[in-house]
Chains A and B, each alone.
Chain A
């Protein structure tokens, strides 16, 4: 699903990722662990080009999205991302947070099709070989209604349907993060990227967020998750990647990596955190 080939990232003179090659298969749940500053977040953010890789390839569904010429927005629709700091839109209610992207993008596509059809019609007036019009089988109102229905279904799923019209500032941290997760889900992503989704939460709220992520994992969602929760990584991940100093030092199944680490640095790290 995602093939990363010799990915490098510099911030100025600082080489943060020093050539990473790995691939993420459909249905995999990959946990990324490693010491602070080892480049975990940078690696994750390169997967959807929130950071533009300095060199190397990130091939997502057959397209190298690290290539600056591709329209990254189209590919990001299929990759959900969840941030440590939630990043809900402060000026939007909960339901508008969830609906914004699906509605904006669907309306944009609808408009584009209409404009294209307009030009095709004009062309067809003069040309002999008639071109077919794009099929338009939805309306503005329908797009909004469907997005709203979907958003309410997702809110019900996390038991927050009564908060639909509240602003994010009225939610607890755990509620915010769960809304952020379903906001990403509303785009029906093929893969979800999580960057320490529970690190900014009060301890009593960590559970509710991890439970939701676990549910997604059980439903077969492909995910990459940077985490400091070793217990969670062990339980949910199908593969654990240990990163240090901008490189993948070791990757393996959680049982193998946690009980029988091969590399000395992995061993050192695990002895500190376990």
Chain B
């Protein structure tokens, strides 16, 4: 037990007196930032793909778009996110001659990746909305796009909210690989503390706790949001 106390002391020394906490705060911020903005991008891309997939395919344009969307989804679901990150950062960016900060690359890759997964979730959500809702909108003279965006998608989102919450939690967890391209996340912060105190037990334990608490907080908010959205289902 004595040695564990010593380990905590070492951890605290670096964490508190040698700037460790600013690294942890930055890491936490980056982790949440990548997940939040990534999910936002993912929801936009995913919704667009899902709509393309459910549009009636009489005409040529929807068919071409659909083919493209399938390719996109296959691409991003068919490879690990670490590989996508590495390819984006070390292959695509240099080829394009672009020089983006690692954190922005991560946001984009996580956004595109999540778009592929959200599209499947969203498609299920849209199909779960009664076709009568679309028919009622169209019968009033509203366009397909308007009815989709104002009536069907909001109900679809409500139906899939718990699943989207899980997608967000999955994203938070997956961000732990962003250090592969040099973005500073929680892992980077706690490795810094560990290597400066020559002691890794406490830092990684604390890191694990932070992830767990983070996920629990998000799960709580998802529940709250679900409840408030459900008010349109309740009798009053």
Contacts and interface: CB of A to CB of B under 8 A. Distances in A.
A87 B150 contact: no
B39 to A, nearest CB: 22
Contacts of B228: none
A101 B141 contact: yes
Contacts of A170: 234-236
Contacts of B158: 91
Most chain B CB inside 10 Å of its own CB: which residue of A73, A75, A91: A91
A70 B154 CA distance: 29
Interface string A231-267: 0000000000000000000000000000000000000
A104 interface: yes
A76 B142 CA distance: 8
B10 interface: no
B236 A50 contact: no
A83 B233 contact: no
Interface in B137-174: 137-143, 146, 150-151, 154-155, 158
Nearest to B143: A73
A87 B143 contact: no
Given A91-B155, A104-B150, A167-B232, A74 B135 contact: no
A91 to B, nearest CB: 5
Nearest to A79: B139
Dominant secondary structure of chain B at its interface with chain A: helix
B97 interface: no
A184 B141 CA distance: 10
B55 interface: no
Interface in A37-87: 48, 50, 73-81, 83, 85, 87
Interface string A122-139: 000000000000000000
Contacts of B140: 76-77, 81, 100-101, 183-184, 187
A63 to B, nearest CB: 14
Contacts of A90: 133, 155, 232-233
Given A50-B135, A89-B137, A169 B233 contact: yes
A89 B137 CA distance: 8
Contact of B141 (A76, A87, A92, A167): A76
Nearest to A105: B141
Contact of A87 (B133, B146, B236): B133
Contacts of B212: none
A100 B142 CA distance: 9
Most chain A CB inside 10 Å of its own CB: which residue of B130, B132, B136, B140: B140
A88 interface: yes
Interface residues of A, number: 31
A166 interface: yes
A76 B231 CA distance: 32
Nearest to A84: B132
Contacts of A76: 138-141
A95 B233 CA distance: 16
23 contacts: A48-B139, A78-B141, A80-B139, A83-B139, A87-B133, A87-B136, A89-B133, A90-B233, A91-B151, A91-B158, A92-B151, A100-B142, A100-B150, A101-B140, A101-B142, A104-B142, A166-B236, A167-B231, A167-B233, A169-B233, A169-B234, A180-B136, A184-B139
Interface of B: 130, 132-133, 135-143, 146, 150-151, 154-155, 158, 231-236
Interface of A: 48, 50, 73-81, 83, 85, 87-92, 100-101, 104-105, 166-167, 169-170, 180, 183-184, 187
Given A90-B232, A187-B141, 20 more contacts: A73-B138, A73-B142, A73-B143, A76-B141, A83-B136, A85-B130, A87-B130, A87-B132, A89-B151, A91-B232, A101-B142, A104-B142, A104-B150, A105-B141, A167-B231, A169-B232, A169-B234, A170-B235, A184-B140, A187-B140
